[in-house]
């Protein structure tokens, strides 16, 4: 039983319990020997030290000396680093703002340069891919030109019939879908860029160099000539002034 003493202010009760019944905290070595409800020297606790009515629970208030015994301290909240934005650069002044603005302009220029290089790279890759495809198609079609010549000769002699005719028509249709175009018709003006003259003659029926006969048709893919049309060319027999274009042979040359 706790001992009691008589003083001038009334009886004093000493509480030696290690656990504070009010806060539930472990008392210090000296706090356990203090009288309940008193401060040091057995004097009653002042009214200001008592908890106010209607306030929160007593355990919310840490016991005296608790922070020293547990060694725990409250940590200050971490500072969040400020993001550097265009608005922040505008609001700041002095050399720091000028430095940040220069760095921002440099990074922006780098990004724009990389974007332009990537766009040029994509265009170059697409162009190279198209060139490789065109080269492959041209190589395949060039190898099939002798087959097309044989089909044309068979058609001229009336030998293209039956199943062979169906195969030939299917082949020519497939090559047409790949872009193969046949050109060269009788009566076309002679163009040395797309025609190859194998026979030359003079004729009063033409007014310019004209293809009077198509020996072999020409083939092209787009603007690329795979094989020029092989033709017979007729030149006008008289010039613009009415003179003859035909060569004059001397008798000596004729006898020889």
SS3 sequence of the chain? CCCEEEECCEEEEECCCCECCCCCCECCCCHHHCECCECHHHCECCHHHCCCCCCCCHHHCCCCCHHHHHCCCCCCCCCCCCCCCHHHHHHCCCHHHHHHHHHHHHHHHHHHHHHHHHHHHHHHHHHHHHHHHHHHHHHHHHHHHHHHHHHHHHHHCCCCCHHHHHHHHHHHHHHHHCCEEEECCCCCECCCCCEEEEEEEEECCCCCCEEEEEEECEEEECCEEEECEEEEEEEECECCCCCECCCCCCHHHHHC
Q: Is residue 98 pLDDT above 80, yes or no?
A: yes
Residue 113 confidence (pLDDT): 94
The residue ranking higher by pLDDT, 81 or 159, is 159
What is the per-residue pLDDT across 170-216, written as a single tens digit (0 to 9) for each?
A: 999 999 999 999 999 999 999 999 999 999 998 888 888 999 999 99
Q: Is the pLDDT of residue 154 over 50?
A: yes
Q: Which residue has the tokens 């002679």?
A: 190
pLDDT at 2 over 50: no
Question: Is pLDDT above 50 for 5?
Answer: no
CB 109 within 8 A of CB 102: no
Average pLDDT, the chain: 76
pTM: 0.50
Q: Do residues 181 and 221 touch, judged by C-beta distance below 8 A?
A: yes
Residue 215 to residue 230: CA distance in whole angstroms: 5
pLDDT tens string 30-62: 554 555 555 444 445 444 444 444 444 444 444
Q: Give residue 162's pLDDT.
A: 86
Measured at the CA of 233, the angle between CA 231 and CA 238, to 5 degrees, comes to 175
Res. 90 pLDDT band, cuts 50 70 90? low
Q: Does pLDDT of 66 surpass 90?
A: no
Query: pLDDT band at residue 228, thresholds of 50, 70 and 90?
Result: very high
| pLDDT value of residue 33 | 52
Q: Are the CB atoms for 230 and 196 separated by under 8 Å?
A: yes
Judge whether residue 1 has pLDDT over 60: no
CA angle 47, 51, 56 (to 5 degrees): 165
Taking Cα atoms as reference points, which of 227, 196, 193, 192 lies closest to residue 214? 196
Q: What is the mean pLDDT of residues 68-97?
A: 55
Tokens of 76: 């200050």
């Amino acid at each position: 039983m706790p001992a009691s003493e008589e003083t001038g202010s009334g009886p004093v009760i000493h509480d030696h319990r290690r656990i504070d019944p009010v806060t539930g905290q472990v008392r210090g070595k000296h706090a356990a020997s203090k009288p309940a409800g008193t401060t040091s020297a057995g004097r009653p606790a002042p009214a200001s030290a008592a908890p106010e009515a209607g306030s929160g629970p007593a355990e919310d208030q840490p016991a005296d000396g608790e922070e020293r015994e547990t060694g725990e301290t409250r940590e200050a909240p971490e500072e969040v680093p400020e993001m550097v934005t265009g608005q922040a650069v505008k609001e700041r002044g002095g050399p720091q703002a000028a430095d940040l603005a220069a760095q921002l302009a440099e990074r922006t220029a780098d990004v724009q340069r990389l974007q332009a290089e990537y766009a040029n790279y994509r265009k170059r890759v697409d162009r190279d891919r198209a060139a490789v495809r065109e080269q492959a198609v041209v190589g395949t079609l060039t190898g099939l030109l002798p087959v097309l010549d044989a089909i044309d000769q068979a058609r001229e002699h009336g030998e293209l019939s039956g199943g062979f005719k169906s195969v030939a028509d299917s082949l020519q249709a497939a090559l047409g879908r790949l872009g193969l175009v046949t050109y060269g018709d009788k009566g076309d003006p002679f163009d040395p860029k797309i025609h190859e003259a194998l026979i030359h003659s003079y004729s009063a029926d033409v007014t310019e160099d004209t293809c009077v006969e198509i020996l072999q048709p020409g083939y092209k893919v787009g603007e690329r000539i795979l094989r020029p049309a092989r033709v017979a060319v007729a030149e006008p027999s008289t010039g613009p002034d009415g003179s003859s274009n035909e060569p004059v042979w001397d008798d000596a040359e004729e006898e020889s």
